[in-house]
Amino acid sequence: MTGQPLLCHGKPLRLGECIGRGGEGVVHMLADDSERAVKLYLKPDADGEAKIKAIVGANLGTSCPNVAFPLELVQYAGGAFAGFTMQRVTGHEPIHELISTGSRRRYFPQADWRFLVRVALNVARIVATVHAAGVIIGDINSAGFLVSQQALVTLIDADSFQVGDHHCRVGMAEYTPPELQGMHFGSVQRTVDHDAFGLAVILFQILALGRHPFTGIARGRPVPIESAIQQGRFAYSQIRNTGTEAPEAALKLHDLPQGVQLLFERAFALRMEPRPTAAEWVKEMATLEAKLTPCPARPHHFVASLATPCAWCRIEENTGRAIFQDGIPTKPRRVVPARTELHHDVARATGYARTYAGETIEPSWPAPAITPSKAARKLATEREASNAPHEIFKILALSDTRTAPFIDEYEAANRSAVKLLEGWRNDIGVWKVLNGVSALNDSLAAFDRTRSHMPSLIAQGGPHITTLQAMGIMRAKSIVDARIAGIGDGVRTLLAQHGIFNAAQLDRTRLAAVPGLGETRMVALLFWRAGIAAEAERESAHSRDHETNHEGAARDRVGQHLGQLERMVREQIDKLYEQVAAVQRRSLVIDRSVQAALMKRDQAGTDLAYLGIDRTAGIEPATLRAGSISPKKKVKPKASASKGKPSCLKCGSPMVKRWARAAANARIWGCTRYPVCTGTRPYAKKRKRRRKVALTRPVRLSGVSAAPIFSRALPALPRSRGYRAGRW
């Protein structure tokens, strides 16, 4: 076919190399013109010839410079129709190479979301230009748009467009509106509204990095795109209940401005009104591009507003992969501010609390002098009568079976004393003090987080204030005064009975609780609300001195919040000192049962010491009673003791529940011989089945005058000689 002579305006054409091939024909360079190319049809027909003549006659190639419209008719030497010449496109890649993360790194390594938004804007501009020329594209798809490294867009395959009565005979189901699904395209008269659906799909794919708006999960299974389009299952809709869930690691509709959200909802909704035109998309894409701002955490991420968390940070953390070229799929390093006087006050208060009201505190009562018991003195006298050498006295003490009752008595007395001490500490408020220490550290951590994130909070404050202003505008829009299709006086009265009076109070959750409202009316109300929200956002964003006023207001708000957190920490410091003082006062009150248990323990310990038995040797009582003469022999301790309490893995002694020093709100098992033995074991609390109850934890940040800081440290109460940690 290409061997036949070709003519253009009666002049011969010399073909260059083949640069493209498709189902309809092949594309060649022109040997004598590097700016143009020629497309030759494999099976030229009369309808195709008539369409090309209509396009060339309308001079569309001049009125739409970024569209590869046919420029001249090409014929064979005998006069038969062969094809056409067109503008040659170089330095461009198909748009699907841009919107896919893998291929974008190869073909567009420097592209970020700003680049994608600019491409989306240029796509909308080209479609608007074509529609303004009276042409319908028909087959809008990702293969028809080419993108340069400067975000310039060119539309190709223009010979398939619908021009006048010459229909577009092709189309892709993924970009075809529901009313045309399954139809024979050659007999369908396309409209601007049909193009609007395909345009919205490709714009969504550009912004959402290749995600199709109708790709989702329904009842745990993926829905074919063609079926989802026919059923109107827009997976990202916030207005309609489509029964389809969008992928988790994807851009959400609420990550975009209100105006863009509304256009997508209109484009993919059931046919309530015409779909957004290309001119409307140009306006909203230009607004979105002007709003783009760097993410405070990762500057290579660009977002539409700082009032909401960065969508790209969320997606990268969920997937563990970087989206853009400079992306780092790890959390940014947090800068820790310098310590202040508040930090030193907290350290002094917590140290004081752990020293004078911590978990090792023992009673401060006077302890009577304890002497060896009569039985211990008798056993010692019998040993002296045996004339044993001094150097084997300790071995005799260990191997003598008569010492077993003394060892057993001490072990029993020690267990009883530890148990009673735990209860006594709880009664006098030691655990409340430790909980207060934990709460104080948490509040200080919140104070530090606010200080370290102050720049980003101030940057987010402006958009947040804009959002609040927009909500104020929406509250002023009464449902009573609105004209909404299908919403009459009866529905307005029903909404008022459920506390819904204005646009700000409309959301799907509240409307679902109104009986008899129905899905159609609910969608109509939410569409009205979305339109009001978009207009309110634009109105508040264009207020006079917007940036300066809002940044100053945001700085004031963050400073006030930081001051409230500092006052809260000061109040908790004062309260902690008061709790320590209360514990000290209660520790002076004698508890007879605890006193008796401690005296019994000390008596048993004195007897062991008098008999030369070292309780810190780490030998099991059973081994001693067996007559072993090797006190340094290690015996593997039992994994658990009686009544579910474990034994120490270091010395085999019983263990009790204690609070971990590193985290005051964590429990551990600790050795009863602490501080001589520091063995610990993790404490696994048994889970109890309980009825689920929704709980809320209010946080008080309102400004209440803070209590004055202590001008002097609370003095330690005098401690007379008594029962202290480590005293036997």
The count of other CB atoms within 10 Å of the CB of residue 208 is 23
Nearest in space to 197 (alpha carbons), one of 267, 271, 280: 267
Contact between 297 and 324 (Cβ < 8 Å): no
| Beta-sheet strand order (sheet of 11-13) | 11-13, 6-8, 70-76, 81-87, 33-41, 25-30, 15-21
Give the ranges where 589-641 is alpha helix by DSSP (H). Answer: 592-610, 621-625
Nearest in space to 212 (alpha carbons), one of 162, 262, 170, 172: 172
Tokens of 156: 């190709």
Interatomic CA distance for residues 150 and 122, integer angstroms: 11
Q: What are 37's strand-pairing partners?
A: 29, 86
The amino acid sitting at 544 is R
Interatomic CA distance for residues 263 and 277, integer angstroms: 9
Residue 478, judged by CB atoms within 10 A of its CB (0-12, 13-18, 19+), counts as: exposed
Nearest in space to 88 (alpha carbons), one of 74, 76, 70, 75: 70
Rounded (10°) angle between helices 546-587 and 404-428: 130
Interatomic CA distance for residues 295 and 22, integer angstroms: 43
- Residue from 33, 47, 139, 165 carrying the catalytic annotation: 139
Interatomic CA distance for residues 570 and 344, integer angstroms: 12
Interatomic CA distance for residues 10 and 76, integer angstroms: 10
Helix, strand, or coil (residue 330): coil
Q: Which single residue is written with the structure tokens 């101030």?
A: 458
R_g over Cα of the chain: 41
Strand pairing category for 153-155 and 25-30: unpaired
Contact between 366 and 587 (Cβ < 8 Å): no
Listed in sequence order, the residues at least 6 apart from 551 whose beta carbon sits closer than 8 Å to its beta carbon are: 458, 461, 462
Helix, strand, or coil (residue 75): strand
Interatomic CA distance for residues 277 and 196, integer angstroms: 6
Question: Residues of 111-149 as b/e, b for ≥16 C-beta within 10 angstroms?
Answer: bbbebbbbbbbbbbbbbbbbbebebbbbbbbbebbbbbe
Tokens of 379: 């056993």
Contact between 141 and 205 (Cβ < 8 Å): no
Contact between 13 and 30 (Cβ < 8 Å): yes
Report the residue count for the chain: 728
Q: Which single residue is written with the structure tokens 């940014």?
A: 332
Interatomic CA distance for residues 561 and 563, integer angstroms: 5
CA distances from 375 to 603, 604, 615, 622 (A): 12, 11, 19, 21
Residue 39, sorted as left (phi over 0), alpha (psi -120 to 50) or beta, turns out to be beta
Interatomic CA distance for residues 191 and 674, integer angstroms: 85
Listed in sequence order, the residues at least 6 apart from 332 whose beta carbon sits closer than 8 Å to its beta carbon are: 297, 298
Helix, strand, coil abundance in the chain, percent, nearest 5? 45, 10, 40
SS (H, E, C) 375-444: HHHHHHHHHHHCCCCHHHHHHHHHHCHHHHHHHHHHHHHHHHHHHHHHHHHHHHCHHHHHHHHHHHHHHH
Listed in sequence order, the residues at least 6 apart from 693 whose beta carbon sits closer than 8 Å to its beta carbon are: none
Whether 139 is catalytic: yes
Interatomic CA distance for residues 267 and 92, integer angstroms: 29
Catalytic residue set = 139
